[in-house]
Amino acid sequence: MTDVEMAKKNGETHLKTMITTINHPVSYDETAYHLPVSFALTGIAVHDQKAALDVFEKTGNNPLVALECILAERTAAEGRKPAPYTGFIDDTIIRKLGYSLVDGSILGLALVVGTPSGADSASAICRELQEKYMLTFLAGDVVTSLSAAGVKVGLEYRLIPLGPSPSYGIYFVDIIARVAMMFGGVTPGDVQRLLTYARERAKAIVIVYPGLTDEEIAFVDAMRVLGFPILSLGDYHGSGWISASPDMVVRRGMEEKGIRVNITAIPIPMGCSPAFEGKSIRKEEMYVEFGGGRSPAFELLQMNSADEVKDGQVTVIGPEIDRMKEGSAYPLAIIVKVAGKMMKKDYEPVLERRIHNFVNYGEGSWHVAQRDIIWVRISKEVVAKGVKIEHLGKLLSGKFRMDFPQLLDAVSVTLITDEAKVLEAKKDAEKVYEERDARIKGMRDSEVSTYYSCTLCQTFAPNHVCVITPERPALCGAISWLDGKIAYEISPSGANQPIEKGAVINTTNGEFDGVNKFVKKASHGEVERCSLYSVMEYPMTCCGCFECIALMLPEVNGIMIVNREFKGITPSGMTFSTLAGTIGGGAQTPGFAGISKNYILSDRFLQGEGGIERLVWMPSPLKEELKMRLVKKLTEQNKPDLFEKIADETWATTIEELIVYLERVKHPALTMKPLV
């Protein structure tokens, strides 16, 4: 084993001696960046020994500078190495390489140096790098090793042989320095920007075979400051070098640097697009179905460590579709395992909900509901085209990777159709569902310091800003606090932005300094204040997508709710659509608020007005929809009889009828503090 720290010290001393021996002029003709590494670091154009020593000293005896100067001198003295070696690379080619990097046709850069033990090892690694759209640079015996294995090298193969010894790897750093100056707006001499560019933008990894000299180890180790992971294939230890096996090294390096292969097409024998999302598969069109009360079925998405998830792997346990009888129901478990550096356990339920969308994207696959009440159908039409159970897995793993490229590095799917095994796996899934419920349920607005905004609707309601908290979902009901959080992490410049809630202005109404500041800015100065839990004072603005409208009825000192689906007249004298027209468009209308259905079940609901006791009327279908959960909630709050006291259209469609009803049932709102 080579101790990197020891070798490095030794190598650095040696390089220091070598740089003083430079006496030929050093320069390359085909660049406007002199000796690019030295130039980028210091802004000094090195052409002779004096300048070389000056830069070396200014950079704290940096081995990269030493090696660049030494190699430049050697090239000037001895001429370029013969083909296939490229040696120093011209500006025009760098411009094209940089283009491919920005353009995305190259995902990242890799440097492979050292002496592979056998020809096959290097060729396997290089092939994997090619397949993963990495532009690979080679220096040292690895080049001859590849040639021996019959691997073609050259720019057109994305395998670039820089030179016959590992020290030619300095051109790798040189290329990144020039790309930073050409594309990254890095001014020569601005070390900080150069380092930031190298660390954050240059997606570069270094793979090291054994056989490096001490100077070469010093050089490779010096690249760590640029944020390139150094992956060692044995023989080295210490100094933060990462040991990896040959079959894992590329994957490990890409993960370490956050380089992801984007999936652009899903290889299944049916169409897959959001265009198919709204379709349905009727009984007579269906080949088989799963769940829906006809057979046990469930879905579960969980995160695992990277080693446990093999990307793209789909396993079917139990009979495939060709062994299923047309027109019948079979058991099904959809188990998705995901891994990713940014992935968090909290995201699991949100991602799991996407199974619904993705299965529906399939031209002939259909999905409703969630968890252990799912119902899935596959159409005869696509089964005839060759679609199998396996393809649902391919579709899911592909779509998850496509839609969450930042979040997920690997997705594997297991589909079980064997009844006994489905039932067994379902027990574990149910435990997970319970744990999740407990976690989400426990989440309180007061426990987090960050809320999320949603300004998606500014397209048509220019000044509308939704503030989403754990206990108050977006008024459309479609985006929860967790969704907002994930959306922000996935797309940091998107419509969901974090809001630091800041100092409390009014606890009861839920008014916060930070929220007000954010809303003012995001509403282009139109809305100064926003209370999260009040309908009466500075309520949140309304776009037009609200699931329900909550509004004050002064005659009964209470608040009524009407949902979008309810077409009838309400005690306010207006229908939903009339009300919606009055309050939408991004305006703030005291006495009115757009809300989601789930918010009605929140402990923060109507907090500013004294709580859910204010609720006097809602349409019976909505009441029915919420019944179980609402009764449970009210019982917990020790007001089990309140549910029956809330009127609906079967009791009152006018304010007069409502007054009569509320007085008869002795509704608490009548005796509460006056609303106005």
Partner 1 sequence: MGYDLHFGWTGTIGKVILGATPGEGGTRKTSYSIGGGTTLPFLELNPLLRAPLVALEICDDPEYWSPIIRNYCGDLVDDVDAWAKTAETVYGADLVRLYLTSTRQRNFSDIASVGKTIEAVLSATGLPLILEGSNEPRIDSEVFQRCGETAQGERLLLGTAEAGRYRSIAAAALAYNHSLIAQSPIDVNLAKQLNILLREIGVQREHIVIDPYTGALGYGFEYSYSAMERIRFSALKGDTDLSMPMICSAIDSLTIKEVREAEPSLQDEMAVQWEFYTGISGAAAGAEIICVRHPKTVMMLKNAFASLMKGAGFPEVN
DSSP β-bridge partners for residue 108: 134
Q: 493 or 638, CB closer to partner 1? A: 493
Name residues whose C-beta falls within 8 Å of residue 597's C-beta, 6 or more positions apart in sequence: 477, 547, 548, 563, 622, 625, 626
Exactly one of 18, 182, 191, 423 binds partner 1 (CB under 8 A); that residue is 182
Is 32 among the residues that bind partner 1 (CB under 8 A)? no
Is 100 among the residues that bind partner 1 (CB under 8 A)? yes
- Starting at the edge strand found earlier in the chain, the sheet holding 558-563 runs 592-595, 548-553, 558-563, 615-617
Residues 511, 533: Cα–Cα separation, whole Å: 8
> Whole-number minimum distance, CB 104 to partner 1, in Å?
5
Is 185 among the residues that bind partner 1 (CB under 8 A)? yes
DSSP β-bridge partners for residue 379: 286
Is 293 among the residues that bind partner 1 (CB under 8 A)? no
Q: 134 or 658, CB closer to partner 1? A: 134
Is 319 among the residues that bind partner 1 (CB under 8 A)? no
Is 105 among the residues that bind partner 1 (CB under 8 A)? yes
Exactly one of 112, 495, 540, 647 binds partner 1 (CB under 8 A); that residue is 495
H-helix segments, 132-168: 142-148
Residues 485, 468: Cα–Cα separation, whole Å: 10
Q: Residues 15, 70: contact at Cβ < 8 Å?
A: yes
Question: Of 188-217, which residues contact partner 1 (CB under 8 A)?
Answer: 201
Exactly one of 183, 276, 433, 651 binds partner 1 (CB under 8 A); that residue is 183
Task: For the beta carbon of residue 365, count every other beta carbon within 10 angstroms.
Answer: 24
DSSP β-bridge partners for residue 3: 237
Distances in Å between the Cα of 635 and the Cα atoms of 82, 425, 642 are 85, 34, 9
Is 651 among the residues that bind partner 1 (CB under 8 A)? no
Give the x-and-dash track for 420-459 against partner 1 (CB under 8 A). Answer: -----------------------------------x--xx
Is 276 among the residues that bind partner 1 (CB under 8 A)? no
> Whole-number minimum distance, CB 130 to partner 1, in Å?
17
Residues 305, 524: Cα–Cα separation, whole Å: 44
Instruction: Give the sign of the dihedral formed by CA 406, CA 407, CA 411, CA 415.
Output: negative
DSSP 585: T
Helix H or strand E encompassing 398: helix 389-403
Is 344 among the residues that bind partner 1 (CB under 8 A)? no
Stretch that binds partner 1, among 74-82, 91-99, 334-342, 556-564 (CB under 8 A): 91-99
Is 602 among the residues that bind partner 1 (CB under 8 A)? no
Residues 62, 600: Cα–Cα separation, whole Å: 64
Residues 471, 477: Cα–Cα separation, whole Å: 12
Residues 416, 422: Cα–Cα separation, whole Å: 6
Is 164 among the residues that bind partner 1 (CB under 8 A)? no
Q: Which residue type is seen at 662?
A: L
Q: Is 453 helix (H, G, I), strand (E, B) or coil?
A: strand
Q: 101 or 387, CB closer to partner 1? A: 101
Is 494 among the residues that bind partner 1 (CB under 8 A)? yes
Stretch that binds partner 1, among 246-254, 473-481, 488-496, 561-569 (CB under 8 A): 488-496
Question: Of 525-554, which residues contact partner 1 (CB under 8 A)?
Answer: 525
Strand 365-368 to 375-379 pairing: antiparallel
Is 156 among the residues that bind partner 1 (CB under 8 A)? no
Is 497 among the residues that bind partner 1 (CB under 8 A)? no
Q: Which residue type is seen at 247?
A: D
Stretch that binds partner 1, among 422-430, 489-497, 637-645, 650-658 (CB under 8 A): 489-497
Exactly one of 95, 627, 664, 666 binds partner 1 (CB under 8 A); that residue is 95
Place of tokens 């609707």: 457
Is 664 among the residues that bind partner 1 (CB under 8 A)? no
Residues 360, 363: Cα–Cα separation, whole Å: 8
Q: 80 or 95, CB closer to partner 1? A: 95
> Whole-number minimum distance, CB 257 to partner 1, in Å?
18
> Whole-number minimum distance, CB 67 to partner 1, in Å?
28
Q: The tokens of 605 are what? A: 């609901």
Is 80 among the residues that bind partner 1 (CB under 8 A)? no
Is 524 among the residues that bind partner 1 (CB under 8 A)? yes
Helix H or strand E encompassing 516: helix 513-522
Q: Residues 474, 605: contact at Cβ < 8 Å?
A: no
Size of the site for partner 1 (CB under 8 A): 24
Strand 230-232 to 242-243 pairing: parallel
Exactly one of 1, 17, 78, 103 binds partner 1 (CB under 8 A); that residue is 103
Is 274 among the residues that bind partner 1 (CB under 8 A)? no
Is 640 among the residues that bind partner 1 (CB under 8 A)? no
Is 258 among the residues that bind partner 1 (CB under 8 A)? no
Q: Residues 342, 489: contact at Cβ < 8 Å?
A: yes
Q: 95 or 439, CB closer to partner 1? A: 95
Q: Which residues bind partner 1 (CB under 8 A)?
A: 95-96, 98-105, 182-185, 201, 455, 458-459, 462, 493-495, 524-525
